[in-house]
Amino acid sequence: MTSKVVLDVSGHIATITVNNPPMNPLDMDVMGGLKDAFDSLLLEEDIRAVILTGEGKSFIAGADIKELKKWTPETSLYLNGKGQQLVNIIELFPCPVIAAVNGYALGGGLEIAMGCDIRILSSRAKVGLPEAKLGIIPGYGGTVRLPKCVSLGMAKKMIFTAAHITAEEALRIGLAEEVTEPEMLMKRAREMAEEIAKNAPLSVRAVKRLINDGRGRSVEENLRAELEEAKGCYASHDSDIGIDAFINKEEPVFFCN
């Protein structure tokens, strides 16, 4: 794993930090490091939540603009494909991923944040898809995911204008789930990860699968899938532990699955 991406595991929670100062641009080392980090966590059976953040004043500031000058159409096809694959890995990671957006999340940085399940923003954060100002378009899935996070008109407005928006505006339009003071960002992300980690891991993973997969299926297909996932949960030890703990007025303790 590259030194530009730092992975820390504490208990059931993993923290992945992009450390590519001063702005954490999304170069190939960072993209490779993020992929390696998530791939390695797939081997950690008891990880129940992941926090993704950046060091310094940026979450991920997007591509290095000077590097874009060197791209050819073929380079664009290849590297945008790599970016889409990375965001897909994050989106499809089995347990919840929380983006703790500490600063700028622009272009590919915002696209990566949108691949996460939950976005908590520092009040100093600025987010946007500025590609139209550069004569290019969002290539890591931004035109697909942004309309799923906000209204269609708002997604078009953000992409057409290439504007950076504040954390409070991101919260208002549904692009962020929470906004917190900068010094409280990681504490709040950790608190949320711990809240998730206390719950039955099989249940949380099942719900993530249902929500992610359900966007491309009919209501009837989703209901059938829900029945199957519910059946699987009731067949697990997690349901015995959770229900017994509730009846006995105790906190449930779920084990590795």
Q: Is 175 exposed, middle or buried (0-12, 13-18, 19+ CB in 10 A)?
A: buried
Exposure on the CB side of residue 184, measured as CA atoms within 13 A: 9
> Is the separation of the CB atoms in 94 and 46 below 8 Å?
no
Give pLDDT, residue 97: 98
Q: What is the DSSP string of 178-246?
A: EEE-GGGHHHHHHHHHHHHHTS-HHHHHHHHHHHHHHTTS-HHHHHHHHHHHHHHHHTSHHHHHHHHHH
Instruction: Please give the C-alpha separations between residue 120 and each of 80, 137, 154, 207, 229, in angstroms, as whole numbers.
Output: 26, 25, 20, 20, 28
C-alpha distance across the termini of the chain, in Å: 27
28 Rama sector, left if φ>0, alpha if ψ -120 to 50, beta otherwise: alpha
Three-state DSSP state, 252: coil
Class of domain 5-197: alpha beta
Q: Rounded to an integer, what distance in angstroms lies between the CA atom of residue 78 and that of residue 16?
A: 25
Exposure on the CB side of residue 139, measured as CA atoms within 13 A: 20
Tokens at 216, concatenated: 């491309």
Three-state DSSP state, 157: helix
* Bridge partners (DSSP) listed for residue 18: 5, 54
Q: How many CB atoms lie within 10 A of CB 235?
A: 10
Query: Can you give the pTM of this predicted structure?
Result: 0.93
What ranges do the domains of the chain cover? 5-197, 201-247
User: What count of residues does the chain have?
Assistant: 257
Give pLDDT, residue 240: 83
> Is the separation of the CB atoms in 31 and 82 below 8 Å?
yes
The set of residues, in sequence order, having a beta carbon less than 8 Å from that of 204 and lying 6+ positions away, is 48, 95, 96, 196
Averaged over successive runs of 10 residues, the pLDDT of the chain (257 residues) comes to 90 96 92 96 94 96 80 90 96 97 97 98 97 94 96 98 97 98 98 96 94 87 90 86 88 77
Residues catalogued as catalytic: 111, 131
